[in-house]
Structure 1
């Protein structure tokens, strides 16, 4: 140990001596040389600026920059000349060279200020005088920097050598103890690692099992929750339709609602089938165009039967909605809003009320507007403690009132995830025993489409609105004002009848009257009866309702109702109904009927399922085209080969078929066309394979389009018009 102590003391003294020498010379010189190099490069860069801008202010900036650099350079170069004893000649050349450069820079600034000097002369001065001088100084400074850096490196070598010597002796003296200790620690470490690995494997296995179990349970619960909602509407509306087979209008209304719910259900099924999304837990939002009024109607179509079954009043109010056509994920938004409304229905006792308010406002997101949905109920409410866990999966408030209510506790978690993905927000206010208010705000991209809201011949016409809801009155009067009409309002039938009587006696009858159906005291139908008894049948009267009006249609018509409009009353919907009655004689004929597209041509439908083949054939023939059939891909290839060029104008091709599938058949048809020099026939996939990879396979094989089953009639019509429309 004494030897180790003596060696250590000697090594430390040697290192200290070397440190002192380096600290007082090479090290500060290397720092100064590094700074000189930076400043010289800066001077060279400044010399290039007047080549781009010879403004007086720019030249002043260069002069100031030279002055600032000069002070620093003089200080550093003077220090190098005094402290660099390794190469005194180089230090002296550096000092003298910079003096010359300083003079050149002053001459350069003067030349730049000289208006008669050309850019070429300035460039020549930079290239031939300043740049060579700077480069020469940089070369000298680089040598000084290398020498001082090498001296600093010697310190590190000394420290390293002496340190290794010290450590070497220490290792020798402690070898015995170290070897014994190392063996012991190695054994302990190996045992601990084995134990830790075993525990980690057990934890991972348990975690994977729990995740798999939770994922399965959550997946099944999600699907049960989401699929049953539209299925309830489909089953109920189907029952209603069967009971009213003799009423075409009622049947049509039920079928429209069934179609809306079916589309929602189909979207859910598409996500269920996309196993990649389920396994990764990621859902990609769609960016599709949709009509905001149609979207709201779809939500109401599902929510109304639920509310009616519990004898709940469902009110829908509309704030300012300027953009009715938007781009976004309508299915996900529908899912979130239905969750909110369905929960309001579920947790509101019989006889309560639910209110859905809609509005639009500017958004902080560029190119978007914020659409705000407020769902208020008079239900059970929630405690402050539960509100903190409301959006966690599987969370439900346990109380005597909620124990009898079915639910998985996933609805709010689903809604929160959807809103977050859309970049929106959701807030909740709730008081136990009084009800809850959910505020969901989602940014959507409006479509810049100018709609024609003109009402020719109705400028400043008087319109009376009768509704007990002040929010509905405020929103509707605002819309009437935007349409250029004069709106008056009455909050009840008792107030409305005298207004109509007075206007009639004064000879200033209202041009239109809009009456809400459900009002306290005197409902809408009785109000209309009394108005008709005073002013006769000349004034169009529209019945406004948030409920299914078909069950009172006969009574309402007998009372004098001219038309029905569903809440919420969007601007486009109000404009449409007023346009219908813009002529004094009654509903106006459409002055510009939509142009009917004439379809002409022959379509080959390739489908192995006979029922699907029959449906597709009937739909296509119903739109005006002739149809030939093939029950597999080989039949289609033969049909194309055995018919003259141009015989078929379009082919709808199924993907999965016996004998030959759609992809193989398309490739064969395209090969026939290439070898025979025939014009390619448009081929569109019509398949139940709804994945993106199926679309890519179809297009790669040579198909021109892709549509999924079940067949969307509107999309089918668009495709036929694209390929078969005739002028």
Structure 2
């Protein structure tokens, strides 16, 4: 979390922090009344947090806090927090890191309960309790542990002398590095001086307990008749469990801070790379648009520039899609759509997609599926294609002309009944990767340092997306690479076998389309979109194909036009989703509720920038007949029109 000093302005918060605090969004957090401390923080801890934060005075100061959060369902979350005072653009801000250590806390409670039970069974908390007169140095033992490894029963037996008892204990049991410190702290002179100002003294040290080092604590309490008589009580106890737990918590928080800093650094590097990569196609689009406008009298040049603009636009769209895909996968909103498909056909289609580019780059490309016995499976063809295209995309980028790229599909033994184990191997003879980069290749935002220098573009998300997709399919992915020799990626998936013939039937169902060119050109379409440029593009495309187009600028106007027009006036509605007054979902539901069946059943296609699968499902649930994503691809538009209008 990053916020202003007074807590009234929230400058940044990630989803992990929102989840810990029990809110869905930053807006929900602010609406609940966030003012430096979230309302979900337990009341008795909130004041302590504010006191800790108030101790920060200078830029760079930081403080660690421990507090509890109560979620709406009553669950208590234990949080380790760190607050740091930073400066940004001349403004002092508070940057905070939150770590959910509820499970660790529960384990601590269990350990503490076991420790209390043990202490109760021994009736005492201390391994040694004895009293001394600091004036005479004489004393007596009140309780001595019988643990021979600690040597207390031997050293503190009979009449005691402070110097000889503690001197012998320090020499025989205490680790050498702590001996001088403990000897000085427990000397009579030092104790008299300190106990004059303090009623209780704690000194931590270490002993050699068998083959291990144990953390212990000496506690000294002055007698009630001080200073007339310098009497004190000395207790020695083990604080090994508590000390090691504190060390673990500190290490855990430091690790979390290190990971957060690493993530911030990676994202900063990512944004730096993306600034370069996005501006490159944008520069081409802007530049060639200017050139085309200045050469309208040279049709060949204009056509050349338009083709380059289209190519740059496609590349820019792929960058944006990568970023959105990664965000979607991390939020857990991606689902698999498994249908019967033939793996050999899938790879044949892949060959058709890649072959032209490999030829243009003067690369040798081959696919081998000879060892596959069961080719028909149930799988998400789109996601498997995405995995393989990501891997092949890297092979194309990093393999020089004359090199080889090969895809091999093997069927492995050991699959459960009704399933097949398949291994996809994508190998190349390209430039390879350094061992250091291979270790982080599946981390988001990671790119080989030479990529920008070499002019090879990308988001650094392709491999992270691929890894997440493979994980979603409960598969594995591994990589082997040697610099100068090439790279090999291996993906293993277990897929359910499909009934023979199911794949062919599914394909036939998908390909039964009617050619729209002979009878659909004069259909009347209502285009609903609030953006002037989007409407102009869509209207021009449709009218060029012979459609009659009317338009509305929001959902409410669209419903009114359908109600006012004669029944059957419109053969199709192309509906945007995000619009003012009434959005596309609400407009569709309103149309479906009309009394006239002809009007209520008019086909409606979503045409929207909401591009994910759940957006498509939401469109269908609202009553729409299909879903098209922006920017509109003309082939997909007319294919969808064909399906709906037929």
TM-score by length of 1: 0.40
Normalised by the length of structure 2, the TM-score is 0.44
Identify, as 1 or 2, the structure richer in strand.
2
Q: Pick the structure with more helix per residue.
A: 1
Larger radius of gyration: 1
